[in-house]
A and B are shown apart, each in its own frame.
Chain A
Amino acid sequence: MSAVIDHHHADHAHGPAKGLMRWVLTTNHKDIGSMYLWFSFAMFLLGGSMAMVIRAELFQPGLQLVQPEFFNQMTTTHGLIMVFGAVMPAFVGLANWMIPLMIGAPDMALPRMNNFSFWLLPAAFGLLLSTLFMEGGGPNFGWTFYAPLSTTYAPPSVTFFIFAIHLAGISSIMGAINIIATVLNLRAPGMTLMKMPLFVWTWLITAFLLIAVMPVLAGAVTMMLMDIHFGTSFFNAAGGGDPVMFQHIFWFFGHPEVYIMILPAFGAVSMIIPAFSRKPLFGYTSMVYATGAIAFLSFAVWAHHMFTVGIPLTGELFFMYATMLIAVPTGVKVFNWVSTMFRGSLTFEAPMLFSVAFVILFTIGGFSGLMLAMAPADFQYHDTYFVVAHFHYVLVPGAIFGIFASAYYWLPKWTGFMYDEVLAKTHFWMSFVGMNLAFFPMHFVGLAGMPRRIPDYNMMFANFNMVSSVGAFMFGATQLLFLYIVIKCIRGGPKAAANPWEGAEGLEWTVPSPAPYHTFTTPPEVK
């Protein structure tokens, strides 16, 4: 009898399983987090290589490398892969790894669902990428897939695209449910909501946004499916439908989606800047409320993407004022970060470099966002490269620099080794210069009148486009260096202490580096 009990007990303390099945069947939050991160990095390189095709074609006026139909597939899949395949899964990966460690939980609340929500992603993106090899090509209607270009006029592969979006959406919703369940139920004793690290807070709010808007996206693509295959006319004007309704539905999803991609990054830099300033975060409470305010407002601004579709004057004014209002809580966040640095004791390791660049460049993206919010001026900016510059300024140094900062900050905890600081700083400076060279001139060509999503342009835009392409190639190539740095760090290096950063605080630094396979099986006490 006692032998059986002993056996049972030994079974409980097992480490990771061996071989491939460890990764297929794992329910461990650290394993799943790592898989999410590797998957998103693979997608980042793939979506990035599509961007390289785009920039190579735009290097000079005229068509050199690709034909317009393929160019449109590149812009579309680049957007879809970066949004749904790279940025979102990267943050879910960070959440999986770090949220249980930050709140003192042994694992995610719903570990089997966690496994399923990850494994839906390779299926979704395998399906999406397979469309590129189908007759008629892959999706070519832009990542915003406006009807009727994406319905009546779409290539036959659009059905696969719809199914891929459904799968990715289900994965996101399950990931969000899991995060909410974990944060609300598995906090260690004493970890009150207002003691939670900001990364946990911003992810909690992000998860609610996901649950609110991913079903709306699913509804939009389902209506497309009905229009294409079952004779409905949701978006077909000839059948009494409304193509503008598609845009309202899409952007009701799409605008909160923008914040889904940035709020977790806000949380991460709100932890990294205090660590390297050796000073507590300025205005923790106002950070939490500002995040909530941004999330709330994100549901009331969607039509600022549609200022030129002909909504009535009063509607136009409402969405203009509501959009301008977002500048207030966003400003509060920026002021808080600057005040955290003010009179601190600063050092500039790679996580801090990426975080400081995040604050500066994201603010520049915020400025162009404020300009775009002015409806009359938007009549000139809309659908030009000015918009492309704007959203790349909030997404690349925003979301992606946030992810890089997080990766460097927590790599010692994940691998047990310090990364190569010299290489990491090189990665930062090359990315910083490349990214600004690539995206800053886009403001200029956009203002001068270059529309977005065109494979060819007049010579008056040629100079800045060439600069942009050079910057983009530089930024793209630099990311291979990041891959090398991470692999090098996994294989060895100086041993990392449990807390390798002088100013870092939080429960994740109380466990050894690398974090053991199971942590906080007994909850810690938070004072």
Chain B
Amino acid sequence: MLRYASAWLGGLSLLAVSSSASADWEVNMTKGVTDVSHSVFNLHMTIFWICVAIGVIVFGIMFWSMFMHRKSRGAVPATFHENLTVEILWTVIPLLILVGIAIPATKTLIDIYDTEDPDIDIMVTGYQWRWQYNYVGEDVSFFSHMTTSRDAINNVADKGENYLLEVDEPVVIPVGKKVRFLVTSADVIHSWWVPSLAVKRDAIPGFINESWTRVEEPGIYRGQCTELCGRDHAFMPIVVDARSQEDYDTWLAEKKEFAAREAELTEKEWTLEELMERGERVYSSTCASCHQPTGQGIPGAFPSLVGTDMVMNDLTGHIDIVVNGSPGTAMAAFGAQLSEVDLAAVITYERNAWGNDTGDLVTPLDILELEEDQ
């Protein structure tokens, strides 16, 4: 009996802990972890309480009238219908309140716009539906995809704590440094938002927007795309991993080493199996959201890749459309996004998967040759 009771209590306290941890009933904005996010939070709370105060006065008078001046209580209507003094007062007083809150708002805004003298520049590029991070001057660049499985979204698998807010490669930044984000897009408009940093900037094709942050505490900070960008708008999260300078340096060195190893792969002799295996990975992270995991596309929106003339017979056309895209449509120029190895792998995969079985093998060197010709 006692055992049951303690298990019950234990379960209850666990529930309490987990619910407070996941903040299921959170009603307010995060204070965040930067000076800017703190001043934004303070501004938000100031204006909120001013609104509450005005609301209490206005609604107070209103409710008092609704209660005291009812016809059923024998209220006799007054006949006044203007009063210049009060009308001037309730124009001037709100104006003064507005000036009062405009001052701190202006200060914070000037701070947000001060993107001068950064320690690190990171180029953030939005794609349908993933983010690319490019460490300017460091030769480090990678894509960040959501890792939540389709099964979890379709309620077949369990949803983890960071459901829809988890990625394969977070953007890593050092603490205590001024990091500038140069935000742009390769296709439609996206918006890069991390609430804890109070950074939100639209990623717009043809524009480079600037924003900055200085995080003092190491930690993982999560956000999402906040501009409708098509079908998988809900599925392109942002994860910022703030580390100590030392850990950041180690990470950066590893990344560079990895990039060098990848570059060597271009020269390697590839077998069909190796390309198919790599191609499947590239396809599922880069192509499957439009052309679907089955290669069948979506009628009217995204073309099928199964048994079509281009995939079966036109190798040059196939490479060309993947590398250079198709202007005026949603098909992007992947030559700028993927390495030669990944391009070769994914094209090989598309020509041999789903029963296409052309037996064509495209090597990284083939791609390189074609790119050099152009």
Where the two chains meet, the residues of A that have a C-beta atom closer than 8 Å to any C-beta of B are 61-64, 68-69, 72, 134-137, 140-142, 146, 148-149, 152-153, 155-156, 237-238, 241-244, 277-286, 308-310, 313, 316-317, 320-321, 324-325, 327-328, 331-332, 334-335, 338-348, 356, 359-360, 363-364, 367, 370-371, 374-377, 379-380, 382-384, 443-444, 447-449, 451-460, 462-464
Closest B residue, CB atoms, query A444: B27
> Do A332 and B26 touch across chains, with their CB atoms under 8 A apart?
no
Which of these, B22, B225, B300, B328, contacts A152 with CB under 8 Å? B328
Known: A324-B102, A356-B66, A457-B164. A383 touches B159 (CB 8 A): no
Known: A148-B188, A149-B189, A367-B55. A280 touches B301 (CB 8 A): no
> Do A451 and B224 touch across chains, with their CB atoms under 8 A apart?
yes
Interchain nearest-CB distance for B304 vs A (Å): 13
Known: A68-B231, A328-B91. A279 touches B77 (CB 8 A): yes
> Do A379 and B82 touch across chains, with their CB atoms under 8 A apart?
no
Known: A63-B155, A459-B159. A332 touches B230 (CB 8 A): no
| Residues of B199-222 whose CB lies within 8 A of A | 199-202, 204-207, 209-210
Supply 11 further A-B pairs (C-beta < 8 A) apart from A153-B230, A360-B62.
Answer: A149-B189, A243-B204, A283-B87, A335-B90, A338-B58, A343-B69, A360-B59, A375-B109, A376-B43, A382-B191, A451-B224
> Do A346 and B207 touch across chains, with their CB atoms under 8 A apart?
no
A244 to B189, CA, bound (A): 9
A339 to B86, CA, bound (A): 10
Chain B residues, CB < 8 A from A360: 59, 62
Interchain nearest-CB distance for A359 vs B (Å): 7
> Do A310 and B153 touch across chains, with their CB atoms under 8 A apart?
no
Task: Give 15 pairs: A residue, B residue, CB < 8 Å, sorted on A.
Answer: A140-B230, A153-B128, A153-B230, A277-B69, A279-B77, A280-B79, A320-B105, A332-B87, A342-B69, A346-B65, A363-B55, A379-B198, A383-B193, A448-B26, A458-B162
A100 to B187, CA, bound (A): 52
Question: What is the total of A-B residue contacts with beta carbons within 8 Å?
Answer: 296
Where the two chains meet, the residues of B that have a C-beta atom closer than 8 Å to any C-beta of A are 22-30, 39-40, 43-44, 47-48, 51, 54-55, 58-59, 61-62, 65-66, 69-72, 75-82, 86-87, 90-91, 94-95, 98, 101-102, 105-106, 108-110, 112-113, 128, 152-155, 159, 161-165, 187-189, 191, 193, 195, 198-202, 204-207, 209-210, 223-235, 298-301, 327-330
Which of these, B30, B80, B298, contacts A69 with CB under 8 Å? B298
Which of these, A341, A348, A380, A456, contacts B200 with CB under 8 Å? A380
Which of these, A140, A310, A359, A458, contacts B209 with CB under 8 Å? A310
A313 to B113, CA, bound (A): 7
> Do A64 and B155 touch across chains, with their CB atoms under 8 A apart?
yes
> Do B24 and A460 touch across chains, with their CB atoms under 8 A apart?
yes
Interchain nearest-CB distance for B45 vs A (Å): 10
Chain A residues, CB < 8 A from B40: 376-377, 379-380
Interchain nearest-CB distance for B346 vs A (Å): 21
Interchain nearest-CB distance for A149 vs B (Å): 4
> Do B47 and A374 touch across chains, with their CB atoms under 8 A apart?
yes
A453 to B230, CA, bound (A): 10
> Do A377 and B234 touch across chains, with their CB atoms under 8 A apart?
no
> Do A68 and B232 touch across chains, with their CB atoms under 8 A apart?
yes
